[in-house]
Amino acid sequence: MTYCWVKSPEYYYYDLIIDDLAKFHNRKNVAFPKGAITTARENRANRQAAQALEVADREWRELGQKGLKPKLDQFITDPKKIPVEELVIRTSSSFDHIPVEPGRKNKPKITADLHSKVNFPPFKHWIKIEEEWTEVARSHWKGDIKKGQFSVSHGKVVDNLARMYIKLCERYSMRSNWRGYTYVEEMRGQALLQLSQIGLQFDESKSSNPFAYYTAAITNSFTRVLNMEKKNQNIRDDLLQDAGQMPSWSRQLEYQAQQVATRERNAALSEGAKDEEEV
């Protein structure tokens, strides 16, 4: 949201994501089995309860954990009491405020290929006042909504999210299948660089689990570094063998395993040939 224009702080969070405002009704469909309005009300009630629980839990800890620990059930309110006018709706893939950039892609396939490159999916926030939709937030926008301009460089990744990136890379590198490599530091560095580049590109309209998205990005970064190191190691071992030197311990173990497999295969073939002769 540091890359966005927001009319007021209460419009910072959204209650529902849809691709078209015309779909905001309470008729049940595949996307919203309970209806869009009911789903938005429930989302807001759950978010407000979680925020209230966080505040109460912080106060409870500051008081020395006296009394009963706050629970989520204490702060859940009736979603039906939330007015429709207070619901904030996000429209995803809103490219009408993103400048058109012809020629950026030789063969454009989607709408995003026709517009300037952005660092995360564009969106807008809306509220409904007297049956009229009013825009209250716009992504990739610097300054006022009327006098401002499109921008992708004025925001930043907040400190808390950056710390999460670092902690996620560190914890993932301690898994048993990665921590034994001598170049695990390089793996962490590449993964952190990858997260800083694609971390904001998580599409909230398609999934609500960013952890899986980030973990997949880290896994791909680690695997890329591993394959690169293996390739360099093979080249180094080939040069050492050509020079009459001993290759790496990994190459020696691999050679020994190949020899054992070859002997076992030859022995099995010999046994099979003897059996055929006896028959």
Residue 252 counted as domain residue: no
Check if the beta carbon of residue 210 is closer than 8 Å to that of residue 253: no
Both 105 and 184 in one domain: the answer is no
Residue 167: its pLDDT value, please? 96
125: phi then psi, degrees, rounded to nearest 5: -110, 140
Tally the domains of the chain.
2
Alpha-carbon gap, residue 45 to 7, rounded angstroms: 22
Both 41 and 120 in one domain: the answer is yes
32-54: b or e for each residue (b if 16 or more CB lie within 10 Å)? beeebbebbbbbbbbebbeebbe
Boundary residue ending a domain (115, 150, 185): 150
Boundary residue ending a domain (227, 242, 257): 242
Residue 146: its pLDDT value, please? 87
Residue 180 counted as domain residue: yes
Residue 269 counted as domain residue: no
Residue 275 counted as domain residue: no
Both 140 and 171 in one domain: the answer is no
89-92 and 16-18: which strand pairing? parallel
Both 167 and 114 in one domain: the answer is no
Tell me, rounded to whole angstroms, the distance of Cα 149 from its chain centroid: 28
Residue 277 counted as domain residue: no
Both 106 and 216 in one domain: the answer is no
Is the pTM higher than 0.75?
Answer: yes
Both 58 and 103 in one domain: the answer is yes
One-letter amino acid identity for 37?
A: I
Residue 279: its pLDDT value, please? 64
The number of beta carbons lying within 10 Å of the beta carbon of residue 17 is 18
Both 29 and 136 in one domain: the answer is yes
Residue 66: its pLDDT value, please? 82
> pLDDT, tens digit, for every residue of 59-69?
999 888 888 89
Residue 93 counted as domain residue: yes
Residue 249 counted as domain residue: no
Residue 255 counted as domain residue: no
Alpha-carbon gap, residue 51 to 70, rounded angstroms: 12
Q: Which residues of the chain have pLDDT under 50?
A: none
Both 141 and 164 in one domain: the answer is no
Residue 122: its pLDDT value, please? 93
Boundary residue ending a domain (150, 173, 195): 150
User: Range of 55's domain?
Assistant: 5-150
Residue 189 C-beta-side C-alpha neighbours within 13 Å: 5
Both 187 and 104 in one domain: the answer is no
> pLDDT, tens digit, for every residue of 172-181?
999 999 998 8
Residue 44: its pLDDT value, please? 94
Both 195 and 82 in one domain: the answer is no
